[in-house]
Every structure is written in C-alpha cells, then in structure tokens.
Amino acid sequence: MSRLTAQFHIPYPGFELNAELDVPAHGVTVIFGRSGSGKTTLLRCMAGLTRSPSGYFRIGDAVWQDESTGRFRPVHQRAIGLVFQDARLFPHLTVQGNLHYGYRRIAEHERRIDFDHIVSLLELAPLLNRMPRNLSGGEQQRVAIGRALLTSPRLLLMDEPLANLDTARKLEILPFLLKLRTELGLPIVYVSHSLEEILQLVDTLVLLKAGRVIACGPAQQVLTDLPPGERIDPGLAGTLLDTTVVDHDDAFALTRVRYGDQFLYLPKQKVEAGRPLRLHILARDISLVVSPASTQTSVLNILEATVVEVLPRGPAAHAVDIKIDIGQPVLATITRKSLARLELKPGQKVYAHIKAVQMVHELPEF
Ligand SMILES: Nc1ncnc2c1ncn2[C@@H]1O[C@H](COP(=O)(O)OP(=O)(O)OP(=O)(O)O)[C@@H](O)[C@H]1O
C-alpha cells in the first residue's frame, strides 16, 4: 500500500521541529496538537514552502525531497492542493474564474479531476457567477477547496480549514469534507487543534507535541493507547466506533446501528440504513457491570466485553481507565473505589453499560 513518508528538522530560535512520520497515502491523516506544537511548520515542509536542510518527503513513488541527494521540489512543482484557514480567493474573479484558475494550468491529459464533478460534489453550481465578497465564509471555503482540487493534486494539504468559521458554518462544511474522503480517493493531510472537528474525518492520527511526533497510527488505536498523561483533552478521552446503520425506530426516535454482531441505539440520525456511521463513546460514559446484563436498567446499550488492562492515572487520582475489548479496544473510566470493589482483572468478562453515544456532529443526509 502506498505510503507518505516524511522526516523534517527545522531549528527555529526557541522551537525545534523534529518530526518523522510514515502513514498510509490514503484517507485523512490529521496532524493534531496544541497551539505552537509545530503543525503548520510540518505542513509547510510537506508543501515545500519551508525547506528542511536535512529533509525527506515521499508520497507513493514520488520523492519530492531527499536532501541526501540534494533533491528538493519547490511548492509550484509539487502536485498538491493547499487550503488555509482563510479562503484566499482572487477577489476580482467570479467563483467560476477562481475554479478555472488552477484547472487551466493543468494540461488536459494530466487532469484527473473533472470540473463538473467538483462543482457537483461541492454543490457550487448556484455560486458560479457570484463574486467572493458576496459569499459566506463557509461558501468561500468550499470554493477554495474546489479550486485546490481542480489542480488534480496527488495530495491535499489543509491547514485548519474550519478554524475561522462559526459552529453552524463548520457543520455545513463537514459533510463535504466527508464526501471528499470517501469519493475522491485522494490522500488528505489535515491540521487541526480541535478534536471535535476531526473525529468524524480522521483515519490516521498524528499527535505532535513540542515539535515531535508522540503518537501516530490508526485514530482508534492512538486515542485508546495514549497514556493518560498525554491525553489531549482528558474530558474527551474515548473511543471511535465505525458502525453501520441498521434501521430507524420512528416510534421511539432512535436509530439502531451494528458493531460486529452487537447492536447500539442512539438518537435518530438522518442517515440511511446500510450507511456507515462513526460514533464517539466517551470513557466517562461507560459503566462496567460484572454480573450478566439485566434488562432492568434504563441503559439501552449494553455490550459484552473483556477487560484488557487497567491504566492507573496515579495514586492521587480518584479515577482509573480500564481498557476493555468489544472487538476493538474501548476505554472506560471508573473510580478507583469501584475498581477495588469489582476486583477487575485482565481476561475478565464484563458488561459495558454505555450511558451516552456522542455523534460529535450529527450528519446531514447526503
Ligand atoms: N518562520 C519562523 N521563524 C521562527 N519561528 C517560527 C517560524 N515559524 C514558526 N515559528 C515558531 O515555531 C513554533 C511552531 O509554530 P507553528 O505555527 O508550526 O505551530 P502550530 O502548532 O501550527 O500552532 P497554531 O495551532 O497556533 O497555528 C512556534 O513557536 C512559532 O513561533
């Protein structure tokens, strides 16, 4: 499988980027870290906007930088699409003019992305004759994404593309980003410092801290394997579950999803049966029960699980995290007192009572 491999070292006064990563060259790779951790610097190195003197960057079989042989392709010679926080549209051109700008520069035989396809994917047809100043922030970002894609890139680099938008506009754009992920087969590297924003999108998660990659891998794994001290936002510690919608129960306003051979109920979602749906289950929303599942509870979602590991948070903490297995690792947070009472041990069968299932963002139909 094609890979994206990067190695960059940038010594700035007071900050040093020392990042190495090797991730699949497909799906969405999110570079996540606090402000100042070096996300933008890493992205700029990938784009060829900043040159790391000992850098290496390769996507599939294309080596864009290998300083050991003096190879460095500058940004304009890389097949990349760039999207920034601000749309940076050409103010004197219509939406159509902006979209054509990159498209025209690519020779016809090198065009891998069709103009009409992008207009329909991003629902840009009603905007084509408008000027950028008459568009909302979200619409401008959709045009910027379209313009980047129409250069037929091999890689799309996005630097906090939703950061300048309010929550309503963010929700407007997210479904389009999900469509890019599933429909275009184009690798996307996406910089963000908002866990909520990326949970629906992320395939591979790269955590950056003070210029270094502290974790890198499939998002589910990174989120559950991270030592408690390294958690990005302990309140959001939890697990991603990729489920499939089974059916909807109109009478009780619920949607039933399947995970492996188990089922979960959640508030009714506007997603058709058979479609994938990613859930986020917060560790603090799971209780563990040792005796067989009882139906005499208000909790709808009870999954059979096995205890994998107890992850202490330190002697002063009142809570511990328990890694359980339901077909994939899942984190549950319980009190240390409960742990002592239940005497949980690796290999033990338990029932995970899931008190709430977060959607992160409710998905509109598309
Ligand atoms: N050209 C430069 N010269 C010197 N220092 C720089 C330069 N560019 C970035 N830095 C420093 O490198 C560090 C990392 O910056 P960077 O913008 O990559 O972080 P970030 O994780 O993207 O932050 P944010 O989320 O706030 O955008 C910061 O301390 C910044 O001041």
The answer, yes or no, to whether residue 364 has pLDDT greater than 50, is: no
Exposure class string for 280-292: b at 16+ Cβ within 10 A, else e: bbbbbbbbbeeee
**Ligand 1 atom, smallest distance to 33 CA:** 21
Atom 3 (ligand 1) nearest CA:
12
Tokens of 97: 């003019």
Q: Order the strands of the 56-59 sheet from edge to edge.
A: 71-72, 62-66, 56-59, 3-12, 15-24, 212-218, 204-209, 28-32, 188-192, 155-159, 80-83
pLDDT band at 198 (very low <50, low <70, confident <90, very high): confident
Point out the least confidently predicted range of 61-65, 89-93, 249-253, 269-273: 269-273
Q: Hey, which of 8, 10, 12, 84 would you mutate to test ligand 1's pocket, going by the most ligand atoms within 8 Å of its Cβ?
A: 12
- Taking the centre of ligand 1 as the mean of its atom positions, its distance from the CA of residue 15, in whole angstroms, is 8
Pocket lining for ligand 1, CB < 6 angstroms? 12, 15, 33, 35-41, 193
Cα gap 355→47, rounded to integer Å:
43
Which residue's C-alpha comes closest to atom 30 of ligand 1? 36
Sheet holding 254-259, edge to edge: 262-267, 254-259, 238-249, 276-282
Question: Which of 30, 40, 207, when mutated, tests ligand 1's pocket best, judged by the most ligand atoms within 8 Å of its CB?
Answer: 40
- The confidence score (pLDDT) of residue 232 equals 62
Instruction: State which ligand 1 atom lies nearest to the alpha carbon of 208.
Output: 21
Q: Which atom of ligand 1 is nearest to the CA of 42?
A: 18
Residues 39 and 208 sit within 8 Å (Cβ to Cβ):
yes
The residue whose C-alpha atom lies closest to atom 18 belonging to ligand 1 is: 38
Residue 236 confidence (pLDDT): 65
Do residues 155 and 190 make contact, with C-beta atoms less than 8 angstroms apart?
no
Of residues 175 and 189, which shows the higher confidence score? 189
In this prediction the pTM is 0.86
Distance from the alpha carbon of residue 292 to the mean position of ligand 1, in angstroms: 53
Tell me the CA–centroid distance for residue 126 and ligand 1, in Å: 38
Where does the pLDDT of residue 34 fall: very low under 50, low under 70, confident under 90, or very high at 90 and above?
confident
Q: How far apart are CA 103 and CA 112, in angstroms?
A: 10
Distance 56 CA to ligand 1 centre (A): 20
Centre of ligand 1 to C-alpha 168, Å, is 28
Distance from the alpha carbon of residue 36 to the mean position of ligand 1, in angstroms: 5
- Using pLDDT thresholds of 50, 70 and 90, give the confidence band for residue 361: very low
Q: Which of 47, 37, 44 is nearest to 16 (CA)?
A: 37
CA of 200 to the centre of ligand 1 (A): 27
Distance 17 CA to ligand 1 centre (A): 9
Residue with CA closest to ligand 1 atom 31:
36
Reported ipTM exceeds the 0.90 cut: yes
> What share of the chain has pLDDT > 70, as a percent?
94
Q: Residue 143 in contact with residue 124, Cβ under 8 Å?
A: yes
- Smallest CA separation from ligand 1 atom 9, residue: 41
List the single range of 61-70, 100-109, 200-209, 341-350 with lowest mean pLDDT.
100-109
Q: How far is the CA of 65 from the centre of ligand 1 (A)?
A: 21
User: Which is the closest atom of ligand 1 to the Cα of 37?
Assistant: 21
Q: According to the per-residue pLDDT averaged within each range, which of 122-136, 171-185, 319-333 is highest?
A: 122-136
How far apart are the C-alpha atoms of 99 and 90, rounded to whole Å? 10
Q: Ligand 1 pocket test: which of 8, 34, 41, 213 has the largest number of ligand atoms within 8 Å of its C-beta?
A: 41
pLDDT for 154 equals 93
